[in-house]
Structure 1
Amino acid sequence: MFRLTALLPTRVLAASFAVAVAGWTAAAGAQDSLPCSARATAETIYLPAYSEVPSSDRGRVQFASTVLVHNVDPDTDLVLTRVSYHDASGAKVRDMLGEETPLAPFASFSAVVDVTDRSGGIGANFIIEWRAETASLSPIAEAVMLGSRGTQGFAIGTEGRTIRRTPAPCPQD
């Protein structure tokens, strides 16, 4: 998903955020009733991000990018094993995770690429890897980009896509 919107007054943003969180919470609850085959013990997630976007006047809008990983499984700890930032050519720019990081149920991880960092370009992305000791719901991986130009502010939100998955072993019926 790709959204580019002008920043709205704080009250409108807060109401929109509350609606979005309610939707995410409902979706996470719906996943809880999924069969074992819908769970995994490890995944690799591709998360698009943008450190800059061309504008209509041939300039560019610079963005700060925040990567967020939310453990939505109410019963299972996850371990983040990799969060890396890549440029538009696919080359790794830097590791965003110093060491493996555990995420308890409903815990989150975040890291920021500063607005002055232009190394990613328009096709920047994050690669996220996680594992769990037991079958787990997939985490939610998102990027939020904020930028401004003159008096106008911009926000972009993207969601990750699983590109590699180790399915959970399921008992035979």
Structure 2
Amino acid sequence: MNKIILVITCLIIISCNPGKSDSPSYVLKVNHNRNATVNSSYHKGSTYLSVYSQVYQRNEQRTYDLTVMASMRNTSLSDSIYIISADYYSTKGKLLTSYIKSPIYIAPMETVEIVIEEDDKRGGTGANFIFNWACKDSIQEPFFEGIMTSTTGQQGLSFVTNGMRIK
């Protein structure tokens, strides 16, 4: 009986400690077989999205690290939209990563996400994205949202930002 309890306890402890992942500091939650050709007659635009890899805590010398999720949403019930590029910039305006190398499509009512892990501090307190996109004139433009989260002990922090069309 004691051996069974010991095995169960060990399994619980192991399952609660996933360890450090060998994955990159970001995850693009998209099927990579989605490469698409954008019709030249489609309506094109650019959207700016502010995100925060860190926020100030107590004073400007202390920062609190956050996980960032940049959410790209297609609100159309009938047509795909196309994301041409998704560029991530630091607080100082330095291009950090271009997440999309060639256009991808997002199916009707689908969401595609870019996740930047909490320990990736490159963006800083004023990180941002520029998304270039295309869609038919007859459908709603894509919706971009930033979700920042973190938890420490029993305290959690989360907030949202919305994209702003710039072109």
User: With structure 2 as the length reference, what TM-score do the two structures score?
Assistant: 0.69
Q: Which structure 2 residues correspond to residues 15-94 of structure 1 after superposition, within 5 A?
A: 41-56=43-58, 58-94=61-97
Moved more, 83-92 or 46-55: 83-92
What is residue 121 of structure 2 aligned with on the other side? Answer: 118
Rg comparison, structure with higher value:
2
Count of residues paired in the alignment: 125
Distance in 2, matches of 1:155 and 1:121, equals 16
Kindly report the root-mean-square deviation, in angstroms, between the aligned alpha carbons of the 2 structures: 1.7
Higher relative contact order (CA 8 A, sep 6+): 1
Pairwise CA distance, 1:133: 4.4
1:42-70 per-position Cα deviation (integer Å, ceiling 9, x unaligned): 11000000000011165211001011011
Distance in 1, matches of 2:47 and 2:68, equals 17
Pairwise CA distance, 1:152: 1.4
The answer to whether the 8 A contact 2:135-2:141 is kept is no
The answer to whether the 8 A contact 1:41-1:135 is kept is no
1:100-144 per-position Cα deviation (integer Å, ceiling 9, x unaligned): 111111111101111011100100011111112443211110011
Percent of pairs identical after alignment?
23
- 1:53 counterpart letter in structure 2: V
Distance in 2, matches of 1:84 and 1:48, equals 12
Alignment match of 1:137 (pick from 140, 144, 154) = 140
- Structure 1 or 2: more helix by fraction: 1
- 2:129 counterpart letter in structure 1: F
Query: What are the ranges of 5 or more consecutive residues in structure 1 without an aligned counterpart?
Result: 1-39, 165-173
